[in-house]
Amino acid sequence: GQQLNQSPQSMFIQEGEDVSMNCTSSSIFNTWLWYKQDPGEGPVLLIALYKAGELTSNGRLTAQFGITRKDSFLNISASIPSDVGIYFCAAYNFGNEKLTFGTGTRLTIIP
Amino acid sequence: DVKVTQSSRYLVKRTGEKVFLECVQDMDHENMFWYRQDPGLGLRLIYFSYDVKMKEKGDIPEGYSVSREKKERFSLILESASTNQTSMYLCATRQGAYEQYFGPGTRLTVT
């Protein structure tokens, strides 16, 4: 099935740095979601976006729903060790039960 | 907070066994989903259900069946487990067009 293009695939950063990742699609979506997954665990919902142009924060995390409705961005400020994990974007349209997922960004913090 | 629980975190079964994976949610959500997650392949939808006794095939339903007798419970059944069904299985739940929440996952190994 279709997947969202997520970049970068992996990031190696130092503690305290800011992080940016994005997700793009060839199709328009009404809703964008961002998840974090720790090894051996299920994805945990971080942020949900419902309106084009919307900017939403959750602590040190900020996500934006692109104005074209074909992309979304996630920023993490002042990274800490517990931010390590895999971040997924997901998107869907109202009336369609299936989510389309991004390929994931693996975040590693270098000591 | 939405709570999605899965019956087992780790499961080891033999080839040919019938396997039941159970998922329970406590938020009265209509939609429930079963995914499998494999390295390099991402999250793939097996089956979903939008109401009691209703089910729809996802992208990879072969070798699986599901049951939803009560709104809060969605079961995934492997009729005759095979080694290529070794995977991480994730249940998820969603109410209408809103956020989708995942369970903690079941790591199934078929030997």
pLDDT per residue as tens digits for the range B30-40: 999 999 999 88
Asked if A102 and A37 touch (Cβ cutoff 8 Å), the reply is no
- B97 and A30 within 8 Å at the Cβ level: the answer is yes
pLDDT value of position B95: 83
Cα nearest neighbour of A32 on chain B: B99
CB-CB: which of A1, A45, A94 is closest to B101?
A: A45
Mean pLDDT in residue range A20-32: 95
Higher pLDDT, A23 or B98: A23
Residue of A nearest to B40 (CA): A103
| Torsion sign across C-alpha atoms A79, B107, A90, B68 | negative
* Digit-coded pLDDT (tens) for B47-84: 999 999 999 999 999 999 999 999 999 999 999 999 99
A1 confidence band (pLDDT: 50, 70, 90): low
Closest by Cα among B101, B53, B42, B108 to B75: B53
Over residues A53-110, the pLDDT tens digits come to: 999 999 999 999 999 999 999 999 999 999 999 999 999 988 777 899 998 999 999 8
Share of chain B above pLDDT 90, in %: 87
Please indicate if any CB of chain A lies within 8 Å of the CB of B26. Answer: no
* A41/B100 Cβ within 8 A: no
Whole-number Å distance between alpha carbons of A56 and A72: 11
- Helices and strands in chain B: count of H runs, count of E runs: 0, 11
Residue A82 sits at φ, ψ, to 5 deg, of -75, -5
Percentage of the residues of chain B whose pLDDT score is greater than 70: 100
Euclidean distance between CA atoms B44 and A98, whole angstroms:
10
